[in-house]
Structure 1
Amino acid sequence: MPPSGAEPHADVPPASAQPHADAPPASAQPHADAPPSGAQPRSDRPLHEPDRYSTPPYGQPGPWAPAPPVQHPTTTPAQGTAVAPAVPQQQSGGGTAVPVPRPPQPAHGAPTATHGTSAAPAHGAPTATHGAPAAPAHGAPTAAHPAHPAAQGAPPVHHASAHQTPRFTPPGAPVSADPWGRYDPWAARPTGALQESGAAASGEARRRGWSRGALIGGALALALVSGGIGGAVGTYLERGGGVSEVHLPQAGKESAERAPDTVAGIAARALPSVVTLHVSGGGEGGTGTGFVLDGNGHILTNNHVVEPAGDDGRITVTFNSGDTAKAEVIGSDGGYDLAVVKVSGVHGLQPAPLGNSDNVQVGDPVVAIGAPFDLSGTVTSGIISATERPITAGGEADGTDISYVDALQTDAPINPGNSGGPLLDSRGRVIGINSAIRSAGSGSELDGGQSGSIGLGFAIPINQGKRVAEELINTGKATHPVIGVTLDMDYSGDGARVHTETGDGGSPVTPGGPGDRAGIEPGDVITEIDGQRVHSGEELIVKTRSHRPGDRLELKLLREGEERTISLVLGSSDGS
């Protein structure tokens, strides 16, 4: 062994023994393919296939073994992948020099082997022969080539192919921080997965990627399973007609009782008293309504309902129960448009209670019952729209049998067939007899046409109907209250004017009549009756007929521009 002062440091060869990496002298660095003379010939083929991944050997010097493929993250040079040069070893026993893999690099800060010593090998690894250099410390310059062949006793052997460029680190160059550039198989394994750039991916990002993939996969699987199940169920239901029969929800049976002041409560009490009349005779026929007055079978209705029967016609009464009976006319009056018929042999009749029409106020609720267009038992409701509404209806061409009614107006629907039916108050009491409607096409008519309701219905007040019905039942005829004057119906001024002369030359004021006794003269204009304004002759008749014969009235009249007030007692149409 040469003295220590004559041998250079193992890690840094002297300048004379370390030529430049790019241009080694011919005398110091023989070509790898041409060994020096006197040396034992060697095979040109390396002991193993070149590692195209430049993977350093495993362990300490010893026989080389093929390295497992490792992804190298750095960019591959255009001319190919470089292979690290092997470190030659001295011959053992005079044999051929055996290439020794480059030992692993010590960790940063580890002591470097001194002259004549080598780094401690791993357990079980062969020990390097004297003179083998140890790995330099981190950051120290690395020799590009092994020591001079003469100092080692054997020429160096190069294993780089003709198409590969050896990897080396120039003297003084810093050591790369890339863990793959200086690979140590015995070092701690780097954590994290390598990305394409060579950096380690964080565990959180990797877990997010796995979670996102699992979520998407689960959603797709759930969608596929749900679609399959839904399709199977739909096919089954379509072919089998459903799972079971359809049962719709419905309210249970409730009590039929209703509050007495409701429309249903009023109708329930009143319907047994209402009847439908079918009239025929003289080539005519019609349908109307009536209601029971007493237990003797008397029924009140309109005169125009029973008028087609005449003296030999037929009247059939149908009760709410469906029972029928024949009826005959007891009495009728065209001026009031009222009639009474009677059924015989019928028991258990329920009379309708009568109210007082003088108590009715505008806005009171009312219920109308009838048989419009032969629809028996039809119930409608509304309110009182007006009171003391003067109307005229019916009558012949000569002006006789005209009905003058001081009517109750209602918006309860009244249609043809309702005539003679009751108009009830909120307690189910009769306050009027439905008699007329005003239609859009023909003006006022007494249920004679087929026009429908437009919300203008008129009923005879029950106070007047009661008086007339009693007279018809008792005497077969009704009396009309009269003033005893003839009115000028063509007068266009305000008020009712007494005619100046009659057509036969007689006096327009009946001698000895109520008007004559009160001092009425021809040409007087009556403007008020009992404090109510009178605007025409029709209104004066209507207001007068709303009273009974014998009632005292107070009249205001104009005579030659002077207003006078007189008092008179009503007479009757029979002159009494």
Structure 2
Amino acid sequence: MSTENEGAAVPSEAKPPTGPQPDRASASASGAQTPGAPPAAPPPPDFAPTVPPVPGGGFDDPGRMPPYHDGRVPQPGYGHPGDDPTAERTTQFPAYAAGAGGGGWGQQPPYGGGGDPWGTTGSPVPKRRNGGLIAAVLVAALVAGGIGGGIGFWAAGQADSASTTVSASGDPGALNRKPTSVSGIAQKALPSVVTIEAQGATGDGGTGTGFIYDKQGHILTNNHVVASAADGGKLTATFSNGKKYDAEVVGRAQGYDVAVIKLKNASGVPLNPLPLGKSSNVQVGDATIAIGAPFGLSGTVTTGIISAKDRPVASSDGGGSSASYMSALQTDASINPGNSGGPLMDAAGNVIGINSAIQSAGNGGGMGSESQQSGSIGLGFAIPIDQAARVAQDLIRTGKPVYPQIGVQVGMRDTGNGATIARTGNNGSDAVTPNGPADKAGLKPGDTITKLDDTVVDSGPTLISEIWQHKPGDQVTLTYKRGGKEHTAQVTLGQRTGDK
């Protein structure tokens, strides 16, 4: 039997010792008792025994000592009348107080009681000598010691077979649930995170995550979460309280992997937008919190850190569409299929990214949207919120994305040495757009771009990811190689509207 937060069990009712008991009348006037085999010690009572006065104070009165041979009644705390106070007396007492009359507790001192320790009442007694005090005290000590030892022996035997556990205090104040704790941030953010179910016209679809972007009912998520329902499909958004609402696509950016949807009937819906942080201020090692619906498990909260910044990631939803590019925030917070579109937050509860892609052991070392991956191995990637918010504003305003560009076509497979401008473009087009930003800056086919501002460019996807971190009209410095020599050029970014 296991007891919670208790010691060895004690019987609720004291039981007298069993077996033959010596007759109370066998006690001599000197207080010595006939020794015998001690019975098992009884357990302590659950109450402090009291002894009511009995008229007459006879021999069977448990509140009094037995009379002496000459008829005098002894009083507690004294020896026999006439004893020499200087005489040393020795009292023989059996173990465990075997002479207790009737096996009861009447002759033991009351627990915690005051006044007469033996419970006697009556009128003052004649003056007696104090020589017997030592003997009486010794008797009381032996009785108490014997009983205490028996109880201890009995309790130890009971405890041997018991299992004692200790329960926590359960004090909520001892837990760190401040607003800035993970628990505090999660409790505040969860009502603003939704689980998105997308179903295409042909029945295909999936589950992802989104979060409230503004009070008008716009929800920010990934393009690959809603793409299947964009043309004649069905979208729903389910809040943490279980309420589900129909939604529609406002706009989506395939290249950025960003989409905005809106609740069709937002009246009466508590819309609390999550605060947006600044991804440009994020540092490696900062704490992160991810919320989503991995494998359909809505409201899942995981934590980690920023493992890296400006990680170039090219991903695809596996549907044969063009890839998406991002200069991602890398985190080791657990991100799995279903987390797509959910918020990545900092330690203050501000959104710093949109969870979008993972790398797992089952995809051959490549990167892609997490909807096509097997599971998290601690390599998750989020679209920086600075970029995502800018894209969201364009989608809300016009329904179409706007991409900054330099007007060149580069190789997408070569890595390590930079982004090389193709000799010829797709379908025989010009690799450098005539009169475009790069053409105006003097770049030519075959040039290899190695830097954009201070960021090293090792491939075509890295160059695109870095350009898309900016907005049209921004001026950047390109470092490139031509004929083994390094050159720099100032380029003002142009723009392209919509996805191709």
Alignment TM-score > 0.5, same fold: yes
Over residues 381-404 of structure 1, what are the superposed CA-to-partner deviations in whole Å (9 max), with x where a residue is unaligned?
111000000011006676x52110
Match of 1:420 in 2: 341
Which among 221, 227, 231 is matched to residue 307 of structure 1? 227
Amino acid at match of 1:520: L
C-alpha distance in structure 1 between counterparts of 2:297 and 2:416, whole Å: 45
C-alpha distance in structure 2 between counterparts of 1:397 and 1:265, whole Å: 39
Match of 2:485 in 1: 562
| Mapped pair 1:333 → 2:253 | yes
Match of 2:456 in 1: 533
Which among 365, 381, 391 is matched to residue 468 of structure 1? 391
Identity rate, percent: 52
| Mapped pair 1:389 → 2:285 | no
Which among 178, 181, 187 is matched to residue 262 of structure 1? 181
C-alpha contact (below 8 Å) 1:369/1:380 kept by paired residues = yes
Q: Assess, with a 3 A threshold, how the Cα gap between structure 1 residues 251 and 564 changes in structure 2: closer, same or farther.
A: same
C-alpha distance in structure 1 between counterparts of 2:333 and 2:412, whole Å: 32
C-alpha distance in structure 2 between counterparts of 1:310 and 1:390, whole Å: 27
Give the C-alpha shift of residue 495 in structure 1. Answer: 1.0
C-alpha contact (below 8 Å) 1:415/1:447 kept by paired residues = yes
C-alpha distance in structure 2 between counterparts of 1:459 and 1:497, whole Å: 27
Partner secondary structure for residue 448 of structure 1 = helix
Corresponding residue pairs, total: 346
C-alpha distance in structure 1 between counterparts of 2:462 and 2:232, whole Å: 36
C-alpha distance in structure 1 between counterparts of 2:418 and 2:356, whole Å: 27
Match of 2:135 in 1: none
Match of 2:196 in 1: 277
C-alpha distance in structure 2 between counterparts of 1:322 and 1:260, whole Å: 24
Give the C-alpha shift of residue 373 in structure 1. Answer: 1.3
Over residues 74-94 of structure 1, what are the superposed CA-to-partner deviations in whole Å (9 max), with x where a residue is unaligned?
xxxxxxxxxxxxxxxxxxxxx
Give the C-alpha shift of residue 345 in structure 1. Answer: 2.7
Over residues 184-211 of structure 1, what are the superposed CA-to-partner deviations in whole Å (9 max), with x where a residue is unaligned?
xxxxxxxxxxxxxxxxxxxxxxxxxxxx
C-alpha distance in structure 2 between counterparts of 1:387 and 1:506, whole Å: 35
Give the C-alpha shift of residue 269 in structure 1. Answer: 1.7
Which ranges in structure 1 are unaligned for 5 or more consecutive residues?
A: 1-213, 215-221
Match of 1:291 in 2: 211
Partner secondary structure for residue 258 of structure 1 = coil
C-alpha distance in structure 1 between counterparts of 2:165 and 2:307, whole Å: 47
Partner secondary structure for residue 274 of structure 2 = coil
C-alpha contact (below 8 Å) 2:360/2:373 kept by paired residues = no
C-alpha contact (below 8 Å) 2:355/2:383 kept by paired residues = yes
- With a CA cutoff of 8 Å and minimum separation of 6, indicate the structure with the bigger relative contact order: 2
Amino acid at match of 1:261: T
Partner secondary structure for residue 428 of structure 2 = coil
Amino acid at match of 2:340: S
Partner secondary structure for residue 439 of structure 1 = coil
Q: 1:304-383 counterparts in 2 under 5 A?
A: 304-346=224-266, 347=268, 348-383=270-305
| Mapped pair 1:441 → 2:359 | no
Match of 1:32 in 2: none
Q: Assess, with a 3 A threshold, how the Cα gap between structure 1 residues 450 and 521 changes in structure 2: closer, same or farther.
A: closer
C-alpha contact (below 8 Å) 2:418/2:459 kept by paired residues = yes
Give the aligned CA root-mean-square deviation in angstroms. 3.0
Q: Assess, with a 3 A threshold, how the Cα gap between structure 1 residues 490 and 430 changes in structure 2: closer, same or farther.
A: closer
Give the C-alpha shift of residue 334 in structure 1. Answer: 1.1
Amino acid at match of 2:177: R
C-alpha distance in structure 1 between counterparts of 2:319 and 2:190, whole Å: 37
Match of 2:325 in 1: 404
Q: Which structure has the larger Rg over C-alpha atoms? A: 1
Over residues 258-282 of structure 1, what are the superposed CA-to-partner deviations in whole Å (9 max), with x where a residue is unaligned?
2222111111221121111122222
Amino acid at match of 2:286: D
C-alpha contact (below 8 Å) 1:394/1:401 kept by paired residues = yes
Which among 398, 402, 407 is matched to residue 479 of structure 1? 402
Partner secondary structure for residue 573 of structure 1 = strand
Give the C-alpha shift of residue 254 in structure 1. Answer: 3.0
Amino acid at match of 2:185: I
Partner secondary structure for residue 227 of structure 2 = helix
C-alpha distance in structure 1 between counterparts of 2:292 and 2:400, whole Å: 26
Partner secondary structure for residue 322 of structure 1 = coil
Give the C-alpha shift of residue 451 in structure 1. Answer: 1.3
Match of 1:178 in 2: none
C-alpha contact (below 8 Å) 1:439/1:445 kept by paired residues = no
TM-score w.r.t. the length of structure 1 is: 0.56
Match of 1:551 in 2: 474
C-alpha distance in structure 2 between counterparts of 1:366 and 1:526, whole Å: 33
Which among 399, 406, 412 is matched to residue 489 of structure 1? 412
C-alpha distance in structure 1 between counterparts of 2:220 and 2:167, whole Å: 47
Give the C-alpha shift of residue 503 in structure 1. Answer: 4.8
Q: Assess, with a 3 A threshold, how the Cα gap between structure 1 residues 257 and 533 changes in structure 2: closer, same or farther.
A: closer
C-alpha distance in structure 2 between counterparts of 1:248 and 1:556, whole Å: 68
Partner secondary structure for residue 522 of structure 1 = coil
Over residues 88-114 of structure 1, what are the superposed CA-to-partner deviations in whole Å (9 max), with x where a residue is unaligned?
xxxxxxxxxxxxxxxxxxxxxxxxxxx
Amino acid at match of 1:270: A
Give the C-alpha shift of residue 250 in structure 1. Answer: 5.0
C-alpha distance in structure 2 between counterparts of 1:287 and 1:395, whole Å: 13
TM-score w.r.t. the length of structure 2 is: 0.64
Which among 505, 523, 538 is matched to residue 428 of structure 2? 505
Q: Assess, with a 3 A threshold, how the Cα gap between structure 1 residues 532 and 265 changes in structure 2: closer, same or farther.
A: same
Q: Assess, with a 3 A threshold, how the Cα gap between structure 1 residues 252 and 571 changes in structure 2: closer, same or farther.
A: same
Partner secondary structure for residue 511 of structure 1 = coil
C-alpha distance in structure 2 between counterparts of 1:483 and 1:247, whole Å: 70
Q: Assess, with a 3 A threshold, how the Cα gap between structure 1 residues 248 and 361 changes in structure 2: closer, same or farther.
A: closer
C-alpha contact (below 8 Å) 1:527/1:535 kept by paired residues = yes
Runs of 4+ residues deviating >6 angstroms: none
Give the C-alpha shift of residue 488 in structure 1. Answer: 2.4
Q: Assess, with a 3 A threshold, how the Cα gap between structure 1 residues 308 and 562 changes in structure 2: closer, same or farther.
A: same
Give the C-alpha shift of residue 452 in structure 1. Answer: 1.6
Which ranges in structure 2 are unaligned for 5 or more consecutive residues?
A: 1-94, 96-145
Match of 1:120 in 2: none
